[in-house]
Structure formats: structure tokens, C-alpha cells
Amino acid sequence: MPNHTPRVAMVAGETSGDLLAGLLLDGLQDLWPGLPSGGIGGAQMAQRGFDAWWPSEKLAVHGYSFELLRRLAEIILIRKRLRARLLQSKPDVFIGVDAPDFNLGLEMDLRAAGVKTVHFVCPSIWAWRAERIEKIRRAADHVLCIFPFEPELLAGHGIAATYVGHPLAGVIPLEPDRTAARARLGLAEGEPVLAILPGSRSAEVQYIAPGFFQAAALIRRALPAIKMIVPAVPALHERLKRMAHDCGLGDALTIVVGQSHTVLAACDVTLIASGTATLEAALFKRPMVISYRMHPWSWRLMRRKQLQPWVGLPNILCGDFVVPELLQDAATPQALSAAVLDWFAARQHQPERISALHQRFAALHHSLRRNTPQLAADAIRKVLTA
């Protein structure tokens, strides 16, 4: 254990990174009460006393090329200023939480200057962009992995790593309380409920939400009694509300601020954008239809680098198409609505199919469930004392 409380700098991008970083701060503060930390972060980190010099939303980009170019100048300027600040007043350790395009280059510079570096969440080199492995090796003294197969993969390239479990597996209960969640949202116990999660970024809403809401209108025609609920980040609430109104969804659809976990616990099925939220839905043991759309240029570039047949995390981790994926041009309102309605039909006529999915997701949950804050903090402590 260092003989002083270390100074920690962190960068977390987007909502999912903010959640992961907040849980990591819990573990670090258990080791070092009053631990000072600063950098780029969001609301969860701020609740732990993190000093956000820039908000994590500044790093939120959509796609691979076209959208990134529009934001590139601002992101480069932020990284330049952050790098100068951290080199002028060096922290004991820098922790990059996800956001590999931003963090890995910064970690390389800081590590070269003698700062200990940790990267939390191994970039998905097993899914796409395998060429990143050399950059990770140069950037990180240690990698904290959220999936059990990753440390062995990294070790083969000379990269020190620790499996710490997935923090969400510890936050989400093994058996979610659907009744309590529905009561909190004002939903009746027996009515069919669809959760719609079109993403938390502005560009995701631009490309994904219209198709989701058009599909929702078709689903409503087939199931007039259905209730639909959308958890939205505050900045996108009004925009989503206007989109839903334009699709004629009326009072069949409710948009709530936040509460994504409550919504997933309450629903029967979810129509969901590919990303971390799909893993959350799997941990809630919910049938889902995974979809994604982005700018066509971004799509073409991403597809060239894809290494696996699956895009959604539940399918990748299960090694099978356990839930349908409808991507880009395949994500038509008609196809999305048909896939969602198929799950609702299975709830009535194929309960064994729903039960089998529940069992697959329960096994996945157990494999990811660890004391992530403690394991991650212990690994960082060892990096500091090495």
C-alpha cells in the first residue's frame, strides 16, 4: 500500500463509462478515503467527489468516420489541454475508462512521461479492430477486463491484465423484481410492456429512433393493449417526445427521464440499440431485438473491421444468435416490428423458448458477477506499488 493517498486522474466517456468509473471510484475510496480525483467524467463520478474538468458528454460520438470528423477539432483540443495539465501536475495513476480512441493515445504519452496507466475495459479486439493490440501494449501498464476470456488473450501479447467481472452484473439483481418496477412506473401487472431504448447519444437518436418509433406504431396496431416506455437522458427527452408524437404513438408510449434499469425490469420485451444497454437487458433476462443504424460511410468502414458474426453483446458472449439482430438496411420498421411481435407471441405460445433464453442469460450473469470495485481497486493498488 502506498504510504500516501494517491492522486488519480480519470477519463470516462459517455453514460456507460461514467457508471463504470463511478463503481471503480467506490473501490478506490474504500482503500483511500478522501482520494482526490479529476479529469473528464459524468454525474455518477461527480456523486463520488470527482472533479470533472470537462463533462463526459464531450467525448460522445456516433459512428466511425463521418460523425467523428465533425467533432474532431473539439476533441483534439480537449485532449491537448488535458495532456498538458496532467504532464504539468502528474497524477500517481491515470485510469482511462473505455473511450479507447481518446484514452489510448493519452495513456501512451503519460506512460512515456513516467505516469502509471490503467485502462478499464479491454477494447473489443476480439470483435473488431484487432490492430489495436499493439497500441494497448504501449499505452497501459495494466488492463482491467470485464469479460473472463480477455486476460489470457492479452497475456499472449505481453499485456498485464486482471479480470474484475462486469460491474453491471453486481448492480443488477439475479432475479429482477418486475412487479415492483411496474408499480414504480404506474404499469399494471398483466399488460404487455415494450421497452424502447434507441440509444443515449444525439446521433443515435437521429439514425435509430425514427425507425424504432415507426416500428412501435406497427406493433401498436397488432397489439392495441400494449404499453411502451422509453428511458431517455435529460438532454434528449423533448426530442424523443416530438419524434414519438410525429409517429402517432399518443398515450400508448411514455418517455421517462433516466430509469433505464427500472424500465428493463418492468418490460416483457425490449427493442434496443446495440451497445452496453443490450448487456443490461440480458442481465435483466429480457427477450430483445437488437438493432443499429449509422451513417452509411461509418457502416461500411465498421463492417470491414468486424471479426465476428455478431454485433450485440449478448450474442457475442453466448457465441450464438440467441436474440435477433437487425442492422442498418435490415432495420426496417416492418422487420423490427415483426421481430418484436415474435417475442410477444412466444410469451403466449412458446414459454419454453422464453425459459431457455432466461437460463442462457442467468448463466451469463453468474459468469460476470464479481466484486468489481474491490478487484479493480486491488489491481490498481498493485500497479502503484510495483
Q: Annotate 229-295 with DSSP letters as a single string.
A: EEEE-GGGHHHHHHHHHHTT-GGGEEEEES-HHHHHHH-SEEEEESSHHHHHHHHTT--EEEEE---
What is the pTM for the complete model shown? 0.76
Q: Which residue has the higher pLDDT, 238 or 291?
A: 291
The per-residue pLDDT for range 8-42, each reduced to its tens digit, is 999 998 777 898 899 899 999 999 999 999 999 99
Per residue in 290-305, is it b (16+ CB within 10 Å) or e — as a string? bbbbbbeebbeebeee
Taking Cα atoms as reference points, which of 195, 366, 361 lies closest to residue 268?
A: 195
Alpha-carbon span 213 to 205, nearest angstrom = 11
In sequence order, the 6+-apart residues with CB closer than 8 A to the CB of 364 are 282, 283, 314, 317, 318
H or E stretch at 327: strand 325-327
Domain 178-368 in the same topology as domain 8-165+370-385:
yes
Q: How far is CA 19 from CA 50, 54, 181, 257, 260, in A?
A: 13, 16, 21, 16, 13
Percent share of the chain, pLDDT over 70: 93
Q: How far is CA 89 from CA 93, 96, 138, 139, 359, in A?
A: 12, 17, 22, 19, 50
In sequence order, the 6+-apart residues with CB closer than 8 A to the CB of 153 are 122, 125, 126
Q: Which residue has the higher pLDDT, 345 or 63?
A: 345
Q: What pairing do the DSSP bridges indicate for beta strands 51-55 and 37-41? A: parallel
Residue extents of the structural domains in the chain? 8-165+370-385, 178-368
Q: What pLDDT does residue 98 have? A: 86
**What's the CATH number of domain 8-165+370-385, 3.40.50.11540, 3.30.420.40, 3.40.50.2300, 3.40.50.2000?**
3.40.50.2000
Cell numbers at 223, concatenated: 397489439
List 288's β-bridge partners, or say none: 270
Class for the domain spanning 178-368? alpha beta
Q: What pLDDT does residue 108 have? A: 97
302 — pLDDT class (breaks 50, 70, 90)? low
Alpha-carbon span 144 to 245, nearest angstrom = 43
Cell numbers at 144, concatenated: 482491467
For residue 374, pLDDT over 90 is answered with: yes
The per-residue pLDDT for range 134-191, each reduced to its tens digit, is 999 999 999 999 998 899 989 999 999 999 999 889 889 999 999 999 999 999 988 9
The chain-wide mean pLDDT, for the chain, equals 89
